[in-house]
Amino acid sequence: MSNAGKRTVVKSFAKPDKTMTMPSVKMDILQFDDMSVVLGTWEPGFHWSKHVSPTVGTASCQGTHFTYIVSGRLMTRMDDGTEVECGPGDVIITAPGHDVWVVGDEPCVGFDFQPASRIG
């Protein structure tokens, strides 16, 4: 049983548990037992297939994402060619098999809740 269900846990993005950076993206991570919340900032020009694919070795992202967009815009293209654009106030659940990129010249900031594979 998770300890988070037995007590109140407060964390802040002012002091994230972990920070990951890659070209054109920064992710601050708060870990709560087997769950996490990621504050992502994707810079203009970020494109998953260009910036992340070479590192992970897959043609498209194989993760499931449950994301709330605070600012900026993201375009998602599924492996079947379906495209969805999202922006401030949107909540998006993205299945494995997608590419994503920032639309426009403003950074995209959003919260990603993990593991999103619980949704389904």
Q: Tell me what pLDDT residue 29 has.
A: 96
Cα–Cα distance for residue pair 75/54, rounded to 1 Å:
20
Q: Tell me what pLDDT residue 1 has.
A: 44
How many CA atoms within 13 Å lie on the side-chain side of 43? Answer: 8
In Å, how far are 6, 49, 53, 55, 75 from 68, measured between CA atoms? 27, 21, 23, 25, 14
Structural domains of the chain, with CATH: 16-118 (2.60.120.10)
pTM: 0.87
Contacts of 7 (CB under 8 A, 6+ apart): none
Residue 30: closest CA among 9, 46, 1, 8: 9
Burial 23-60 (b: 16+ CB within 10 A, else e): ebbebbbbeeeeebbbbbbbbeebbbbebbeeeeeeeb
User: What are the pLDDT tens digits along the chain (120 aa)?
Assistant: 455 567 899 999 999 999 999 889 999 999 999 899 999 999 999 999 999 888 889 999 999 999 999 999 999 999 999 999 999 999 999 999 999 999 999 999 999 999 865 554
